Chains A and B, each alone.
Chain A
Amino acid sequence: MSSALDHDASSATGTATRGDASTALELELRHVQKAYPGSRQPAIPDLSLTVPAGEVCILVGPSGSGKTTAMRLINRMIPLTGGDILLGGRSVLERPETELRREIGYVIQQVGLFPHQTVRDNIATVPRLLGWPKDRIEHRVRELLELISLDPDEVGDRYPHQLSGGQRQRVGVARALAADPPLLLMDEPFGAIDPINRASLQDGFLALQERVRKTVVFVTHDIDEAIKMGDRIAILREGGTLAQYATPAEILDHPADAFVADFIGADRALKRLGLASLADVTLRPLNGDQPAGDLPVSTSVRDALAAVLAAGGRPLRVLEPDGGVRGLATLEAIGHVLGGAGELDGTGRPPARGQP
C-alpha cells in the first residue's frame, strides 16, 4: 500500500534519480566528546548515535544543547576532543579537512551564499574545487536548478541579492548537493523563513530527499519540523546529552522521560494523529448511514478529526483514490486509533533499517 503520508504527492513516487541512493553513507558518532577551551563543562560529554545511510536524522533540543556543535564536529569545522566519527565506516579524523568537507554537503542557517557570484557560480563551488571539467559542471548546475524548481535561464545568472529569501535557501541546498555528497549537514536551514514559505521549503526538501536519498543530519529547535522531516529524531537536553533517539512515532508514543514528554508538548496525541492517515484507521462499514461529507483516504487522522468535529461529530465517508468508498470515519474510530497508537505503521515513510 502506497502510504498516504507521502509529503509531496506529485513527485514522491519519483521514478527519477533513485540511482543516487548508492552514494549515501552511514554516519556513526562514537562516544563523541567536545569541550570548548576555557569552559568548565563539555558542550557534549558523550554522544553516540548512528544514522543509517539514506535517512534523515533530526537533531532537536533547547538552545545551547549542543546541536550545532554536534553537527560541526562531523565535518570538522570544530575539532573533536574525544571519541570518533565514522562516515561510511571510515574515521573523519584520518582524512585531510578540505577533502572531507568537499565530500559533505553543508547548509548553514544564514545560507552564506557568495554575494559576488551568480547563482550558477555559487552552485558550482565544490565541483570547481574538485576540478570537474567545465561541461560536466554546467550540466550539473542546470540539473540542480531544475531539482530545486528554479529556471536555470531565468535565475542562473542572478546574484544572491536578487533572490527571495526562500529562493536563496533553495540555492544553498543545491550548492550543498552539487558534488553529490553522501552526507548532507543542515543547520536550521529554514529557521529564518516565514511559516508559509517554510512549510513549502520543507515539502520541497522532502520531495528532493525522496529522489536523492542522502544521509542527512538536520538541526532544528522546532519539534514540529522534526516530526515532519525526520526518519529519526535525536532529542538533546541541556548539557549536551541525548535524551532519546528514535523514530517520530516512537517518540510520540513512548517518550523516554518527562523531559522528552515536556519537549514534544502536551498535544503529542494530536501530533501523533498527524503522522497517521485514514488508511491506518479501522473504519466503520457504511451501513446506510447518512455521512456529512467525504474525505480522501490520504487525509491525515488529525485533519480527519478536525473535519468530523467541524461536521458536529457526524461521521464522514472515506473515499479511495479511484472514488470507491472505503468506509466511515467516526469519532469513535478515530478515538480508537489514539488508544492503540503504538500499533500504527508509523510515519508512512520508508521504514528505517532494522525495522520490520
Chain B
Amino acid sequence: MNPPVLIAAGGGGPIIPNFGGNGHAYACEQANRLFCWGWFSHNWSGTLWPALRQHVVLVLIAVAIGFAISMLLALLAHRFRPVEQPVIAFTSFLYTIPSLALFELLIPVPGLGLSRATAEVALVAYTLLILFRNILAGLRNVPADVLDAARGMGMSHRQMLWRVELPLALPAIIAGLRIATVSTVALATIAALVDNEGLGVPILSGINDYYFKTELIAAGALTVLLAVAADGMLVGVQRLLTPWSRGRAA
C-alpha cells in the first residue's frame, strides 16, 4: 500500500493506540488484528461520537444551504426558461471539479482558509447540480391538464406554485435530496483536509497508520451507516408528506 499523501492539513493528530501499560488489555492491537472492539469502545465517546456529530452538522448545513440556493434557482428557471442553461452549465462545471482540487483552490481565498466555511462552500457546490435538476424536473413534470384546471379555477401563479406544483414536485425534490445527502455524507470525509472535524479525521488518521486499521474501518463504517440512516429518514419524510402516492402501483 502506498503511504498516504493527504496528511498535511489533517492536523487532528492520529489517535495512536497505546501499546504501553497492561499488555493484556491491548492484546488485540498488539496482535494487529483487523478490527479491535476494545479500541472501538474505548474511543467511542472521546473520538468517534464527536466526529460523527460534527459530520452530521457539516452535512446538514451543506444540504440546507444547497437546497435553498437550488430551490431559488429552480423557481427562477421554472418561470423564466432562459435561466436554465446557464445554471446547468455552471453547476455542472462545479460538479466536475475534483474535490481535492476544489478544497485546495478555496484555501487561498480570503476569509476561507482552513475552516469549516471552506468545507461548506465546497460541499454546497457539489449539491447544486443534483438538487437544481431534480427540483426543476419535478416542477416541470406536473401534468398539463392539472395546471390547466388549476388556472381555469382561478388560481394565481403563487397559489398554483404552493398548492399544486410544489406538492406534486415533492417526490422528485426528495429524490434529489436523497442523492445529495448521501453523496455529501461521503464527500464530507474529505473536508477533514481543510476543516479538522467530522468522520474524515479518524479516517485520515487511520489511513496514515500503516498497521492499525481499526480506526479507519470504524470511521468508514460509521460514514456508511450515517448515509444509510439519512437516506432512510428521507424516505420516511417522503411517505409522510406524500400520502397520495401510498399504495399506488410503483
Is the pair B146, A129 in contact by a Cβ cutoff of 8 Å? no
Specify which chain B residues have a CB less than 8 angstroms from the CB of A129 in the assembled complex. Answer: 153-155, 159
What is the minimal beta-carbon distance from A209 to any residue of chain B, in angstroms?
20
The answer to whether the Cβ of A67 comes within 8 Å of any Cβ in the partner chain is no
CB contact list, B21-76 vs A, under 8 A: none
Select one of B149, B167, B168 contacting A113, CB under 8 A. B149
Select one of B151, B167, B168 contacting A77, CB under 8 A. B151
Is the pair B242, A116 in contact by a Cβ cutoff of 8 Å? yes
Q: CA–CA, A302 to B154, complex, Å?
A: 44
Is the pair B244, A159 in contact by a Cβ cutoff of 8 Å? yes
Number of residue pairs across A and B with beta carbons under 8 Å?
64
Is the pair B154, A126 in contact by a Cβ cutoff of 8 Å? yes
Q: CA–CA, A261 to B206, complex, Å?
A: 90
CB contact list, B221-250 vs A, under 8 A: 242, 244, 248
The answer to whether the Cβ of B179 comes within 8 Å of any Cβ in the partner chain is no
What is the minimal beta-carbon distance from B162 to any residue of chain A, in angstroms?
12
Select one of B147, B148, B153 contacting A126, CB under 8 A. B153
With A111-B145, A114-B146, A116-B167 known as contacts, the answer to whether A102 contacts B244 (CB < 8 A) is no
Specify which chain A residues have a CB less than 8 angstroms from the CB of B152 in the assembled complex. Answer: 75, 77, 101, 106, 108, 112
Nearest residue in A to B168 (C-beta to C-beta)? Answer: A116
Q: CA–CA, A114 to B163, complex, Å?
A: 10
CB contact list, B161-189 vs A, under 8 A: 164, 167-168
The answer to whether the Cβ of A48 comes within 8 Å of any Cβ in the partner chain is no
Is the pair A161, B153 in contact by a Cβ cutoff of 8 Å? no
The answer to whether the Cβ of A83 comes within 8 Å of any Cβ in the partner chain is no
What is the minimal beta-carbon distance from A64 to any residue of chain B, in angstroms?
19
Is the pair B151, A117 in contact by a Cβ cutoff of 8 Å? no
Is the pair B155, A106 in contact by a Cβ cutoff of 8 Å? no
With A98-B154, A98-B156, A129-B159 known as contacts, the answer to whether A116 contacts B149 (CB < 8 A) is no
The answer to whether the Cβ of A200 comes within 8 Å of any Cβ in the partner chain is no
What is the minimal beta-carbon distance from A79 to any residue of chain B, in angstroms?
13
The answer to whether the Cβ of A115 comes within 8 Å of any Cβ in the partner chain is yes
Count chain A CB atoms within 10 A of each CB in B168, B244, B248 and give the residue with the most.
Answer: B244
The answer to whether the Cβ of B150 comes within 8 Å of any Cβ in the partner chain is yes
- B8-27 vs A, Cβ < 8 Å mask (1 yes, 0 no): 00000000000000000000
Q: CA–CA, A129 to B151, complex, Å?
A: 12
Select one of A97, A100, A103, A108 contacting B149, CB under 8 A. A108
- A169-198 vs B, Cβ < 8 Å mask (1 yes, 0 no): 000000100000000000000000000000
Is the pair B244, A115 in contact by a Cβ cutoff of 8 Å? yes
Q: CA–CA, A75 to B156, complex, Å?
A: 14
The answer to whether the Cβ of A343 comes within 8 Å of any Cβ in the partner chain is no
Query: What is A's interface to B at a CB cutoff of 8 Å?
Result: 75, 77, 97-103, 106, 108, 110-117, 125-126, 129, 159, 161, 175
